[in-house]
């Protein structure tokens, strides 16, 4: 990264980031951008073949990358993800909870189980990775970025489960920020 100018504010030289949902889309773009900023990156996703491609892109930028096949719905796998980041790259400075989502479904077609699964995938998994990473984040004055959605504040038909889960993720972010301050920044975008 350049040694001068506004971009120096965003330098991640010597930092280690975990990015979930990193095999494509936002997660892959975040992983590449962090590598461009100087970070080593642990990329995690269920889609192993695409995950290796993203890890290769990070390495091509001169950074270390660890590809971890991980279904974040398995909370033991989430704990293992944090442990592997430390074991292979020595620390955790940044966590990006990007994995999440739910298919649209109107209220009358939404079962309690579907709502619980949406909450688990979008909220519980983010909580689990924050908690598993917290000792490292506190030690290194790290940061967490949770990928939320405007639908957590707005209304739209068929978005009950997803919108409710993203609203909860946004509030989890606020509460985690209060609990981990002043050493760890926790934000949602």
Residue 44: domain span: 13-188
Q: How many domains does the chain have?
A: 1
8 located within any domain: no
**Residue 100 belongs to some domain of the structure:** yes
Q: What is the CATH number of the domain that holds 85?
A: 3.40.50.720
Tell me the catalytic residues. Answer: 162
Looking at the domain assignment, is residue 75 inside a domain? yes
The three-class DSSP label of residue 42 is: strand
CA torsion, points 14, 20, 23, 25, in degrees to nearest 10? -100
* Residue 80 domain flag: yes
- Residues 73-88: pLDDT tens digits? 999 999 999 999 999 9
Judged against a pLDDT cut of 90, whether residue 7 lies above it is answered with no
Kindly state the average pLDDT of the residues 88-117.
Answer: 97
pLDDT digits (tens, 9 = 90+) for 48-76: 989 999 999 999 999 999 999 999 999 99
Q: Flag whether 1 is in a domain.
A: no
- Indicate whether 4 belongs to any domain: no
Whether the pLDDT of residue 181 is over 90: the answer is yes
- How many CA atoms within 13 Å lie on the side-chain side of 13? 7
> Is residue 183 in some structural domain?
yes
């Amino acid at each position: 990264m350049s040694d001068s100018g506004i971009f120096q504010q965003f330098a991640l030289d010597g930092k280690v980031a975990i990015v979930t949902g990193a095999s494509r889309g936002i997660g892959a773009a975040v992983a590449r951008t962090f590598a461009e900023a100087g970070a080593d990156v642990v990329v995690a996703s269920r889609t192993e073949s695409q995950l290796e491609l993203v890890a290769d892109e990070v390495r091509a930028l001169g950074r270390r990358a660890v590809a971890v096949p991980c279904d974040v719905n398995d909370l033991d796998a989430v704990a293992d993800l944090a442990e592997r980041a430390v074991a292979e790259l020595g620390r955790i400075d940044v966590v990006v909870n990007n994995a999440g989502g739910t298919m649209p479904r109107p209220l009358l077609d939404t079962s309690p189980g579907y709502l619980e699964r949406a909450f688990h995938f979008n909220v519980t998994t983010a909580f689990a990775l924050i908690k598993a990473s917290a000792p490292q984040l506190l030690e290194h004055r790290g940061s967490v970025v949770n990928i939320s959605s405007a639908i957590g504040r707005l209304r739209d038909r068929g978005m009950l489960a997803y919108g409710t889960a993203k609203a909860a993720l946004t509030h989890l972010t606020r509460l985690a920020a209060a609990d981990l301050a002043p050493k760890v920044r926790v934000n949602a975008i």
